[in-house]
Structure 1
Amino acid sequence: MTGGPLEGVRVVDLTTVVVGPVASRTLADQGAEVIKVEAPEGDILRHLAHGSRTPGMSGKFMNFNRNKRGVCLNLKHPDGLAAMKRLLARADVFVSNVRPPALARLGLDHASLSRENPRLIVCNIVAFGRGGRYYNRPAYDPIIQSLSGVAGTFERAIGEPRFVPMVMTDHVTGLIAAQCIGFALYRRERTGVGEAIEVPMFENMAGFVASEHLGAATFDPPCGPSGDGRLLSPDYRPLPTKDGYITVAPNNNAQAFAFFDAIGRPELKTDPRFSTAAARTAHPEEYFKVRTEGLARKTTAEWLEIFAALDVPAARYNTIDDLLTDPHLADVGFFFPEEHPTEGRIRRTRVANRFSGGMREDTLPAPRLGQHTREVLAELGYGAAEIARMVETGAAVDRHRTETV
């Protein structure tokens, strides 16, 4: 028994890299039984990110594939494909980021699978939605950041396009896919019937950017320029203090006026550029200049103490490495140690969201390639001799103990 709101839900995960594994990990963290199906060469993320003790087990792969069992099937082999279809006949959810025409050629599309399992929910994460001219093109996160306007926000802010230095569009779309699967599971509870879900990265991220930055261009004709001037200011960043950096976010009048008092500029409370939230929004450059000049006069620790007393939102600036020692994360046990059966001691991250009805009780380390192939095939009714034959013919792979690049 795993516990968690999705306990009893079986998910077959035919995804690679980040966007799909984020979706399936989210389901797994909430108690779903996730079976990750990999091709004989394995998920490229096993090797794509640097930092591993053994080949094929990068830290990034391990972070995105916790709480899953791993099966390795050759879907180009008829016996491997037959095993996949047998697995899907007993599943609740099938999530994939394989392009739809390739799935259809294998008979792994919703129309084909629902004939055998009408309760199956099939979620296909794609780069571009059906009906558009980009449909069926390949894409990764930087392609979507470039097309969706994410990189363009940097050009508006700092004069040149840049990518967010993490695969943000994969994370956002993966979480949306998990959300859509949850919606479909709820509807299935009422109707008894599964459905097909298409989750396009481009359209989702275009909506993400547009809802933030369409602004005055929401109106037709526009009543002003697009873009949120506060967010596009080059000073929308951690600001320097006497000994480091700090981030402050005084938004409402009480916070802004307390901030003006703290920096010794009480007269700004009646300055028409800053006396209301609307005025401050209309003058972001001037408002950020006031912040920048005021914060340079004291140390980060001094400011944090002052702002805490005034209830002004503020935080120290953390580097990536600072996260490992952040006191709040330590309080909640966000990082905790785990002994991986092949990788030794590793650092895991706690599932952030809590359910009073119960959480997943066990934790599964990310699987080696094909680690659970024999186990899962046996659960599907394959005998030992049949499994051995499938491994011998290459229909299934069980090589995790001797995996090499």
Structure 2
Amino acid sequence: MTAVNPGALDGMRVIDLTQVMAGPFSTMLLADLGAEVIKVEPPGGGDQTRHSWGRSGKGDDGPAFFALNRNKKSVVIDLREPDGLAELHSLVRGADVVIENYRPGVTKRLGIDYESLRAIEPSIIFASITGFGHYGPYATRPGYDLIAQGMAGIMGITGNPGGEPVKAGVPVADIGAGLFCTYGILAAYAHKLRTGEGQYLETSLYDSAIAFSVWEATEYWASGNVPVATGSAHRMSAPYQAFPTSDGWITVGANNQRLWGYLCTALGREDLRDDARFATNPDRMANRAELAEIIGSALSTDTSEVWVEKLLAAGVPAGLVQTYDRVLDDPHTLAREMVQTIPHPVEGEVSTLGFPVKFSGTPAAARRHPPLLDEHRAELLGEQAAGDPA
């Protein structure tokens, strides 16, 4: 790996006891910013995602693992054994953060809960991600993104009006929990640097999914109406949604009076400005279905590419609705360095998404390949990895 400047979190040590998505996503964000993240994996194959989706290529690890574990170190520890617990304690001493995503009660049973590890490292920050949190009526329920999206209301407002419940296309509860956990860890770390004090923090897939519902909660509190699915349409403005063209779909965001006028001009429908059905935003919201049909009819006369260029030239926000093959090859995606590759000792090159936050002085960087299972045992514990030649 090419040498890079230290990241913003250089000097932070994180003990990562998480698997699958929410926790590994959180710790990858920290690792991208320069933290030393030590991924503690269970015996018998390590993180479950090492074997999800099959093998990636030449080695045993799968692409799901590569997606969430760059820039980390790996060590296998059996936390059910006294020797394993001693190994974990040796890693926790001098560490800044421990993060885990076990079901409530498991860390206490294993002796790796906050109180136990704080006795080893008094200033430790202990972060926990669960499905529903550590208290409340649902605390003991298993946590999955799908379940959280359904129970937190997201599936009830996703999809077309009157249609069956649909989950968001990306795992918003998992990714959201990872993001909120990272946000919490950074706040706790700032406090620790200022005071020397660690603390316990927790978030959940359920809490995170609800936290994204800022418009929907506001709509309910303000009107008393239960939010429902609106397709791609906005809850408070129109026209602001996806529309069909002659060869696909585009999004149009004419969500104020000025942009509405620009859109009428671009569509060649100046008459719509004076149409009482669409005179103001409340009028357009009340007649949204009719408006969508009129706009869709106008857009059906040409291709998506032509209409996006025409609308942008007229000052109307617009964009293509793209599939991921186009997104990942889009010149803007590439210019923003949102697609990168990491050299890997087995696979050769592994594709990875880039870094959504750009820093002028301490940029995020791909410093390490996704680790091989137990790759860093000798470095971290002074022992050979299982299976290594003597």
When normalised by structure 1's length, the TM-score is 0.87
Give 3-state SS (helix, strand or coil) of 2:342's partner: strand
Could you report, residue by residue, the CA deviation over 1:340-385 in whole angstroms, capped at 9, with x for unpaired residues?
Answer: 111122222221211223224552110111111221113xxxxxxx
Could you report, residue by residue, the CA deviation over 1:171-203 in whole angstroms, capped at 9, with x for unpaired residues?
Answer: 111111111111111122222100000112112
Question: Are 1:33 and 2:36 an aligned pair?
Answer: yes
Paired AA for residue 164 in structure 1: A
> Where do residues 184-195 of structure 1 align in structure 2 (5 Å cutoff)?
184-195=188-199
Q: Report the Cα offset of residue 104 of structure 1.
A: 1.0
For the aligned residue pairs, the C-alpha RMSD in angstroms reads 2.4
CA contact (8 A) 2:240 2:254 kept: no
Q: Report the Cα offset of residue 223 of structure 1.
A: 4.4
Q: 1:398 aligns with which of 380, 386, 390?
A: 386
Q: Partner of 1:110 in structure 2?
A: 114
Q: 2:83 aligns with which of 79, 87, 90?
A: 79
Paired AA for residue 36 in structure 1: K
Q: 2:15 aligns with which of 2, 12, 17?
A: 12
Distance 1:360 1:217, change over 3 A: closer
Deviates more, 1:140-149 or 1:357-366: 357-366
Deviates more, 1:28-37 or 1:262-271: 262-271
Question: Are 1:340 and 2:328 an aligned pair?
Answer: no
Which structure carries more relative contact order (alpha carbon 8 Å, separation 6+)? 1
Distance 1:148 1:81, change over 3 A: same
Could you report, residue by residue, the CA deviation over 1:320-356 in whole angstroms, capped at 9, with x for unpaired residues?
Answer: 1112210101223322333211112222222121122
Paired AA for residue 28 in structure 1: A
* Structure 1: distance between partners of 2:196 and 2:289: 55
* Structure 2: distance between partners of 1:322 and 1:240: 18
> Where do residues 4-403 of structure 1 align in structure 2 (5 Å cutoff)?
4-41=7-44, 42-50=46-54, 52-54=56-58, 56-154=60-158, 157-209=161-213, 211-219=214-222, 222-227=223-228, 230-231=233-234, 238-361=242-365, 363-378=367-382, 387=383, 398-399=386-387
Could you report, residue by residue, the CA deviation over 1:101-157 in whole angstroms, capped at 9, with x for unpaired residues?
Answer: 110122211112112212110000011123311112212111112211122123663
Q: Report the Cα offset of residue 284 of structure 1.
A: 3.0
Paired AA for residue 67 in structure 1: N
Q: Report the Cα offset of residue 250 of structure 1.
A: 1.6
Could you report, residue by residue, the CA deviation over 1:227-266 in whole angstroms, capped at 9, with x for unpaired residues?
Answer: 5853479x98643212222222221222221111111211
* Structure 1: distance between partners of 2:5 and 2:98: 20
Distance 1:153 1:232, change over 3 A: farther
Deviates more, 1:65-74 or 1:332-341: 332-341
Paired AA for residue 95 in structure 1: I
Aligned residues: 381
Give 3-state SS (helix, strand or coil) of 2:109's partner: helix
CA contact (8 A) 2:59 2:347 kept: no
Give 3-state SS (helix, strand or coil) of 1:198's partner: strand
Q: Report the Cα offset of residue 26 of structure 1.
A: 0.9
Paired AA for residue 309 in structure 2: E
* Structure 1: distance between partners of 2:388 and 2:74: 10
Distance 1:273 1:188, change over 3 A: farther
CA contact (8 A) 1:128 1:134 kept: yes
